[in-house]
Chain A
Amino acid sequence: MGCRLACRGAPLSLLRNTLRVLRAERGWSQAELAERLDVSRQTINALEVDKYDPSLPLAYKIARLFERPIEHIFLFDER
């Protein structure tokens, strides 16, 4: 969240997510999470700072990894 607040410019994505919190709970680095999801670390960073909306398959992959329903991780921004 701290990085999100300090981030330059408006978020590009329409979704908000709890990825950073979930990752921190498990003590994983961005690189470790990227490895588990088979994406780059840059993609994890972009997801965490709301600069990128994942595809549906990637969102499902994330939900499965964290064993949470997709809508508990990704929330549509009503603004």
Chain B
Amino acid sequence: MISKQLRRQAWARFALWMALYVVLVLVVSTLFDAGQIPRGLLVPAALLPMVPAVLAAFASMDRIRALDEMQRKIQADGILFSWVITAVVTLSYGFLEVYAGAPRLSMFAVWPLMAVLWAAGSLVAARRYRC
């Protein structure tokens, strides 16, 4: 079936770009730790792993587009849940940081939070369509 093939291809591309992302993160962090990045290249070197990450994100979007209509609805519900709760959590924590002395958190914390909430939201949404 066409959509099955598209999903498989999107998964393969996603896996490929994620593998490259992991490799680049390891290489770039090793080079940074060794102090081998010239000063003029700090920004492009720091952002280098984001090239495959962006391509992986597009592959992930293609995978969702290749899902059937109900599965897309489930994913949309999951993403909506994740978007709303992430907004509430990050804004709340921002206020706590500014006014209540909560420790500073890295921006790296946002995506894992969103991903976990997306998965949880999708699982809950999927249950609604089950007998």
Residues of A in contact with B (beta carbons under 8 Å apart): 3-4, 6-8, 12, 35, 38-40, 42-43, 45-46, 49, 51-52, 54-55, 58
Q: Which B-chain residue is minimally distant from A53 (CB atoms)?
A: B70
Q: In chain A, what residue has the closest Cβ to B74?
A: A42
Identify whether the interface residues of A are mostly helix, strand, loop, or mixed: loop
Query: Which A residue's beta carbon lies closest to that of B126?
Result: A42
Complex CA gap A49/B130 in Å reads 8
B interface majority secondary structure: helix
Q: Are B71 and A51 in contact, CB atoms less than 8 angstroms apart? A: no
> Do A43 and B131 have beta carbons less than 8 Å apart?
no
Q: Is the C-beta of B129 less than 8 angstroms from some C-beta in chain A?
A: yes
* Chain A residue at minimal CB-CB distance from B4: A38
Chain B positions 111 through 131: 1 when the CB is less than 8 Å from some CB of chain A, otherwise 0: 000000000000000101111
